[in-house]
Amino acid sequence: MTKSIFPRPHRLVLLSLLGLMGCYSSEASESFADKAVAIDWVDPPCAVPGSEAGYIEGNGFGAENVTITVGGIEAEVLAATGMDASFVVPAEGLSPGDEIEVVVENPGGRLATIDWRVCETARLTGIGLFEGDRTAALDVSGNGNVVAALSSPSSTMSTALLWRDGVLESLPPLFPEILLTSVVGASFDGSILVGSTRYDTSPGVGATEAVLWDNGVISPLGDLPGGGFHSEALAVSADGSVVVGRCDEALFFHNVACRWVDRGAPEALLSGGSPIVDARATGISDDKTIIVGTVVINAVWRGFVLQNGVRSLLDQSDQAFRVSADGSVVVGTSLNHLGDEVASRWVNQGPLERIAPLEERSWARDVSADGSVIVGQLASGRAFRWTEVDGLQLIEDLLIAEGVDLGSWNLINATGISDDGRTIVGTGSNAGVEGWIAILPLPLD
């Protein structure tokens, strides 16, 4: 069906005038009573609660005694014809981001439905500085409520931080005298956070150990036996039961990908030695059957997937950083013709797909649960969001388009995303280096 030639504001006025003039009588309404109803489209793309902005086109509506419900709530009908209707979006009972239905019932009781969505309020929030020092937001819980962050006033000092409900607080170190602690991963609900801490085992001899915080209580995760002492926790499963990262292997004194199950002793996932000299695991699917990471083979970095214990290398990969919760999409980097990193993805471990321009270095850092939204950074210091619908877009531009005043913010990188793809975290500058949280609506299909 061809859309009305009138712009939406004029359509609303026209419909109201037609109703006031009685151009559509009760007889006309009765003629629609036995007609099927169809909705072709709804305008605007998402619902703004309380606004007089709802407009639908289709056929079989009727001009009187038309009922429209939005998300199960009856809406006030402003005007209707056989093919058009305008209505007031209910002011209460609808939550930002809700997937809803618009239902039209004509005088004869015939129904038609169309999917709609409640608009989200886009916003940008800084997590703040910590004791006057710069901060970085590194990951966000799957539900979008908890941010894993870091304060690092110098290369020899860092404090692991947690941001929740607008409050930034420090996570306890393993020992009071420890000055270097980081947190890089969060479980779905944010109750489990993982990272690493560095401390001296003897004067002048340091060790790095993977750690886990369970509701703020820290526990060491240990390292593989023998060799040097170096382990790092780099990601955690949604339920917090499996942690992946890298450990030091005794036989070859190289870093190897490893995991900790239910806080037990670490298990090596990939053995070191020739031709493998380094490996790390950086992502895990919700069902814990897929682990991704990066391995160095013959001095070449490659992204790998470990599925039920079987390793495969990603097509033309350089590094693999994260995997979607459903395990379908891996994100990371590949190399262009100059040997520079380019943000990339692999769907179902298939062929390489680059998601950023080849001309500029870029990194894909994290991915939503279903793999449809990816976030990362361009080398020019700009955070981006990539979606299957709109491709690569700068997060600053998306916020501005939603009416958000950025002030002095410059969003440098995006490092974490919630499962639903709506909450993104990263680091930027705002009269100082500071972590940030952005809420953005998803594009419509």
Within this chain, do residues 349 and 370 fall inside the same structural domain, yes or no?
yes
Domain boundary among 66, 87, 117: 117
Out of 64-78, 205-219, 268-282, 375-389, least confident range: 268-282
Segment 172-177 mean pLDDT: 85
Residue bearing tokens 């860092």: 158
Segment 283-298 mean pLDDT: 95
Q: Distance (Å, rounded) from C-alpha 373 to C-alpha 324?
A: 10
Within this chain, do residues 130 and 234 fall inside the same structural domain, yes or no?
yes
Q: Which CATH number does the domain housing residue 92 bear? A: 2.60.40.10
Which amino acid would we find at residue 399?
L
Segment 27-43 mean pLDDT: 69
* Host domain of residue 21: 8-117
Within this chain, do residues 74 and 131 fall inside the same structural domain, yes or no?
no
Within this chain, do residues 136 and 239 fall inside the same structural domain, yes or no?
yes
Query: Is residue 445 included in any domain, yes or no?
Result: no
Within this chain, do residues 99 and 215 fall inside the same structural domain, yes or no?
no
Count of structural domains, the chain: 2
- Is pLDDT larger for residue 296 or for residue 153? 296
Confidence of residue 46 (pLDDT cuts 50, 70, 90): confident
Within this chain, do residues 69 and 212 fall inside the same structural domain, yes or no?
no
pLDDT of res. 361: 97
Average pLDDT of the chain? Answer: 87
According to DSSP, residue 288 is labeled S
pLDDT in tens, 75-99: 999 988 888 899 999 989 998 878 8
> Residue 27 above 70 pLDDT?
no
Q: Which long-range contacts (CB under 8 A, 24 or more apart) does 70-73 make?
A: 70/94, 70/100, 70/102, 70/116, 71/47, 71/98, 71/100, 71/101, 71/116, 71/118, 72/100, 72/101
Strands in 267-268's sheet, in edge-to-edge order, are 231-236, 242-248, 255-261, 267-268
Segment 310-317 mean pLDDT: 91
Query: Is residue 97 included in any domain, yes or no?
Result: yes
Q: Which CATH number does the domain housing residue 245 bear? A: 2.120.10.30
Separation in Å, CA 6 to CA 48, 80, 88, 168, 360: 22, 15, 19, 51, 44
Confidence of residue 341 (pLDDT cuts 50, 70, 90): very high
Domain boundary among 77, 93, 117: 117
| Cβ(114)–Cβ(102) below 8 Å | yes
pLDDT of res. 179: 73
Out of 44-53, 91-100, 165-174, least confident range: 44-53
Q: Which of the given ranges, 27-31, 186-190, 430-434, has the highest pLDDT on average?
A: 186-190
Domain boundary among 101, 117, 133: 117
